[in-house]
Amino acid sequence: MDTKQQTAPAAQPEVVWSADLELFNFDSLGELLDSDDFEVGQTVFFGEKAAVNPTHWVDVDIVLDALCDRAFDQVGEAASDYPDVSQEARDELETVLGAWVAKHAQPTFYAVKKITEYTITQEDIGA
C-alpha cells in the first residue's frame, strides 16, 4: 500500500492588468488592449490578485477615542479618563468588531502583488 500523500497542485494566481498602475481591472492583456489605443513600446503592468482582510482595519483605539471625545463634549473634564477598560475588554471589542466587519463589510476590491512592467509589442497589437 502506498502511504505517500498526494497534494493538490497549487492554484495558479489570478493575473490582472493595468495601464496606469492605479486600477488593475482587466483580466487579460487582450482585454486591456481593447480598452484604449496603445502603441508598440508603451508600458503596461500586470500583477497577481490578492485578497484583502478588512478585519485588519479594525482599530479599537479609534472607537475608544471617539467614545472619550463624545463624553468630553457632553460633560467636559469629568470624562477625561473615559472609557477606562481592561486589555481583556479591548480584546473583546476587537473580536466583536472584527466579526461584524467579516460578516457585513467584505470588500469587492482586491490588492495586487508582484506587479511587473510589460512592454507592448507589435505582436500584441497585431498587424
Q: Which domain holds residue 71?
A: 53-106
Alpha carbon of 73 to those of 54, 62, 65, 70: distances in Å? 30, 16, 12, 5
What contacts 3, CB < 8 A, 6 or more positions away? Answer: none
Regarding whether 44 and 24 lie in a shared domain, the answer is: yes
- Per-residue confidence at 9, pLDDT binned at 50, 70, 90? low
70 and 96 both lie in a single domain: yes
pTM (predicted TM-score): 0.71
What does the alpha-carbon distance between residue 68 and residue 77 come to, in Å, rounded to a whole number?
10
The string of pLDDT tens digits covering residues 18-37 is 999 999 999 999 999 999 88
29 with 46: CB under 8 angstroms?
yes
Total tally of structural domains belonging to the chain = 2
The yes-or-no verdict on residue 92 having pLDDT over 60 is: yes
Q: What is the pLDDT of residue 47?
A: 97
**Across 97-110, average pLDDT:** 95
| pLDDT of 11 | 78
Is 61 in the same domain as 99? yes
Which residues are within 8 A (CB) of 97 and not within 5 positions of it... i.e. 6 or more apart? 58, 60, 63
List, in sequence order, every beta strand (DSSP E) within the chain: 15-18, 43-50, 111-119
* Residue 5 belongs to some domain of the structure: no
